[in-house]
Amino acid sequence: MKMSIFIIAFAAIGLIIGYGVFGEIAGNYINVQTLITGPGNAIERGLYSLSGLTTMRQRILMCGAVGAIAGLVVGLMKAKK
């Protein structure tokens, strides 16, 4: 149970940090709803790619994944003690 709490907490922290670092275009932060829902059809996918939103989403998700891995490591270290 504690392990999952560490993983979820660190993943959330990673997502927040990722959004803070990569969620900005032209001085404005992108709406979180836009990042969560993603493109719906082929035209929207093309526009997302051209505007850099696809790359932005991937980078933010990678930060969350790194956070989850860090949470796993911290949880394993705490479990050994």
Let me know: does 4 contact 80? Beta carbons within 8 Å.
no
Which amino acid appears at position 72 of this protein? L
Residue extents of the structural domains in the chain: 2-80
pLDDT exceeds cutoff 80 at 38:
no
The whole-angstrom separation of Cα 7 and Cα 71 is 4
Q: Of 63, 49, 50, 59, nearest to 15 (Cα)?
A: 63
The whole-angstrom separation of Cα 18 and Cα 66 is 10
The whole-angstrom separation of Cα 24 and Cα 21 is 7
Percentage above 70 pLDDT, the chain: 100
> For residue 27, what pLDDT is reported?
85
The pLDDT of 38-67, averaged and rounded, is: 87
Choose between 78 and 69: higher pLDDT. Answer: 69
pLDDT exceeds cutoff 90 at 48:
no
Whether pTM exceeds 0.75: yes
